Amino acid sequence: MYSTTLYIPDIATAKRFVEIMDRYPEVNVRIKSGNLEIDPHSILGVLSLDLNKKLTLETRDKVSKQFKKDLLPFMVVSD
């Protein structure tokens, strides 16, 4: 299982994020925000979330180092 916290503050960032997720159609990924859970391969799904909040990305699939590297621009860094 892999989980990380993301921040997607605007439409342009959401578009870039979905483009990256589309590179990994074989990975079953979900994004959670409160009671909502969406497929991050869908721009409409991502835009349906409250973009002012931090999001949780989760997958039970094994993910590659490249997948994690591609998520870096969207990841929330803990203090």
**DSSP letter for each residue of 47-58:** HTS-TTS-EEEE
Six token digits for residue 20: 């990256």
Q: What is the pLDDT of residues 49-79, one digit of tens each?
A: 988 899 999 999 999 999 999 999 999 976 4
| Percentage of the chain exceeding pLDDT 90 | 89
Give the pTM: 0.89
Architecture of the domain made up of 2-74: 2-Layer Sandwich (3.30)
Domain ranges of the chain: 2-74
Q: Which of 5, 2, 10 is nearest to 56 (CA)?
A: 5
